[in-house]
């Protein structure tokens, strides 16, 4: 080929390409640092970031952070109830360090529904920094009650949103989509930005015959599915359960049959304080059978008040009575609705079972219905309450015996249905322990979602989602913060270990007064035992400990240096060794040395 022909060919190709606005020959310009930065920012803006601060590998304490192009918002801020190993702890909330560090980016908090594991942490978050809160009417009403208890109501920025409404949060647009759950006004979320659309279901089930007649808005989820959904974050609580979750109306039918079976006995029903639909059905059946209703338990009383005020609870006139009035009615005319369905130590039902309630005394003429399923970890506490009631010759009805409870969470077929209509590119199971998340991931795979497009996460995980894939970033600060009384975060592992130690082996306190000049023991040492041995029955052991303490003090005390730490350390070591040798127990040793 000649050089002349080659040049001609290039010229012709250039003309063809110019017609298509595709240039074979382009002048390459060197990018300035500013231009490179702009391009980088553009690529970053395509990614939606999600940080999990709670609700992963656990039931409760739900909190998720979404971020796009420098804007952030939070979904839910709940608490978890402490296990038996967290001695003295009242509740557990998420670590807020990550959102505190990015407070200037946070545009608001969206709450999916009014359960404690979704709203319980809000007062503690608002004490850190005040951000707008968006939710539905009932949820806002319940949040107000919590904020009032903490003196935050007047400062809070609360925005009531209806299902199907949209909220603009920086570069995000969030649509509230009505779902069925065990509390009214629950919503899922369609989270949209230039990076794509993410569906966050919240807690949900598909109830075709809900008590309030308002079925989940499946068509709206399907509309988003037809447009294209980048990722689906879905409730995993019942991922192990096959089939469908029963309708709440089924419980109402069971109540009618059981209330009739109770005959002349007083009926006591324990249920979740937040389940308004359950309370409504109890009231309806009680009215039908001409019984009065008394409510016991602070949280339940608050719910009834808020529900009635906002119109979510229809209470017929003269059916509700105060707990002080129950003595005025015969047993066959009473229904008592109480808290304590999880066997909580301080709940009303537990106090009734143990004979400790000031106003309700259990009797063999009671008929107790526990209308709830034990939350994982609470089975033992619920069993203890049932046993205590049965010791009093009380008949107890619980879930395994009759259909007195249905879940508020979707089972496998409902989960698959939601996946099928949303058709997400990526799937992220949330709200569950590891076994729930893994099972849920398996369901997604069975629905045709590629394994590489499924992310099973953990608390603290920080991910980036785009059309190119899911990328795991460096974990963010996360974990459990313990609430004990008015203290938040002041109870850590050291304190808990001390409490466990005390609960297991007790404590020995050694009190001695020493002459500062001579080192002579002027008074004591006195040995005080709590939770270890009964002193009067262990005089020989206590006397041996006293003699040893005297010897240790005289051998280790130096009047020149006054090194109290050495004396106390020696006392701890020697007394602890002696006690273990004689009892095979290891009590906490607390020396108290006073110098005169």
For residues 190 and 197, is the Cβ–Cβ distance under 8 A? yes
DSSP state of 325: G
How many Å is the maximal CA-CA distance in the chain? 118
- Measured in whole angstroms, how far is the alpha carbon of residue 262 from the centre of its chain? 36
Indicate if the alpha-carbon torsion angle 53, 58, 62, 64 is positive or negative: positive
Residue position matching structure tokens 């005394």: 361
Closest CA to 231 of 96, 43, 68: 68
If we measure between CA atoms, which residue out of 313, 241, 309 comes closest to residue 275?
313
Q: Which of 324, 328, 320 is nearest to 303 (CA)?
A: 320
Block residue for tokens 């537990």 = 350
Q: Give catalytic status of residue 288 as yes or no.
A: no
Known catalytic residue at 47: no
Q: How far is Cα 584 from Cα 28, in angstroms, rounded to an integer?
A: 82
Backbone angles phi, psi at 44, to 5 degrees: -60, -35
Q: SS3 breakdown of the chain: % helix, strand, coil, rounded to 5?
A: 35, 25, 40
For the chain, the straight-line distance linking the first and the last C-alpha, in angstroms and rounded, comes to 112
Between CA 158 and CA 213 the distance in angstroms is: 27
Q: Judge contact between 549 and 571, C-beta under 8 A.
A: yes
* Helix and strand element counts for the chain (H, E): 17, 26
CA angle centred on 105, ends 133 and 36, rounded to 5°? 150
Among the listed residues 76, 203, 235, 366, the single catalytic one is: 235
Q: How many residues are listed for the chain in this entry?
A: 596
State the catalytic residue, choosing from 409, 436, 440, 462: 409
Catalytic site positions: 235, 409
């Amino acid at each position: 080929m000649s050089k002349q022909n080659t040049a001609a060919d290039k010229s012709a190709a250039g003309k063809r390409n110019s017609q298509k606005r595709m240039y074979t020959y382009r002048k390459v310009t060197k990018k300035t640092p500013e231009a490179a930065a702009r391009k980088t920012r553009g690529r970053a803006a395509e990614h939606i970031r999600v940080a999990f601060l709670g609700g992963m590998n656990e039931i409760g304490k739900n909190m998720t952070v979404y971020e796009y192009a420098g804007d952030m918002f939070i979904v839910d801020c709940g608490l978890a109830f402490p296990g038996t190993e967290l001695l003295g702890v009242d509740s557990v909330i998420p670590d807020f360090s990550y959102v505190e560090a990015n407070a200037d980016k946070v545009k608001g908090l969206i709450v999916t529904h009014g359960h404690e594991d979704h709203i319980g942490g809000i007062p503690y978050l608002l004490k850190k920094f005040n951000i707008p809160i968006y939710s539905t009417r009932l949820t806002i009403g319940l949040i107000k009650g919590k904020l009032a208890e903490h003196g935050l109501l007047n400062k809070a920025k609360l925005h009531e949103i209806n299902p199907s409404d949209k909220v603009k949060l920086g570069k995000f647009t969030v649509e509230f989509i009505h779902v069925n759950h065990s509390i009214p006004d629950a919503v899922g979320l369609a989270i949209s930005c230039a990076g794509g659309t993410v569906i966050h279901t919240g807690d949900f089930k598909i109830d075709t015959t809900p008590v309030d007649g308002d079925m989940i808005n499946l068509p709206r989820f399907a509309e988003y599915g037809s447009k294209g959904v980048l990722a689906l974050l879905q409730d995993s609580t019942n991922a192990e359960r096959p089939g469908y979750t029963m309708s709440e109306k089924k419980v109402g039918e069971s109540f009618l049959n059981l209330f009739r079976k109770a005959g002349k006995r007083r009926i006591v029903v324990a249920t979740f304080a937040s389940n308004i639909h359950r309370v409504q059905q109890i009231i309806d059946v009680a009215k039908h059978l001409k019984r009065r209703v008394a409510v016991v338990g602070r949280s339940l009383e608050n719910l009834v008040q808020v529900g009635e005020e906002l119109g979510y609870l229809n209470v017929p006139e003269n059916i509700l009575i105060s707990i002080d009035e129950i003595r005025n009615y015969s047993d066959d005319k009473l229904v008592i609705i109480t808290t304590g369905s999880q066997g909580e130590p301080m709940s009303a039902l537990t106090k009734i079972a143990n004979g400790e309630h000031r106003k309700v005394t259990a009797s063999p003429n009671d008929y107790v219905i526990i209308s709830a399923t034990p939350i994982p970890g609470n089975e033992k506490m619920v069993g203890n309450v049932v046993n205590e009631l049965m010791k009093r010759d009380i008949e107890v009805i619980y879930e395994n015996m009759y259909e007195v409870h249905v879940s508020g969470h979707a089972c496998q077929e409902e989960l698959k249905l939601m996946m099928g209509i949303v058709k997400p590119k990526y799937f992220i199971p949330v709200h569950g322990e590891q076994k729930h998340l893994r099972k849920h991931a398996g369901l997604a795979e069975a629905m045709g979602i590629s394994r590489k497009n499924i992310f099973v996460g953990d608390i603290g995980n920080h991910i980036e989602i785009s059309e190119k894939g899911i990328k795991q970033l460096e974990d963010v600060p996360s974990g459990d913060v313990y609430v004990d009384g008015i203290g938040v975060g002041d109870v850590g592992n050291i304190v808990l270990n001390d409490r466990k130690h005390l609960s297991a082996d007790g404590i020995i306190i050694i009190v001695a007064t020493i002459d500062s000049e001579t080192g002579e023991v002027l008074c004591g040492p006195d040995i005080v035992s709590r939770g270890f041995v009964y002193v009067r029955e262990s005089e020989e052991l206590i006397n041996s400990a006293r003699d040893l303490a005297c010897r240790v003090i005289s051998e280790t005390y130096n009047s020149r240096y006054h090194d109290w730490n050495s004396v106390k350390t020696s006392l701890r070591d020697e007394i602890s060794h002696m006690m273990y040798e004689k009892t095979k127990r290891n009590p906490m040793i607390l020396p108290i040395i006073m110098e005169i």
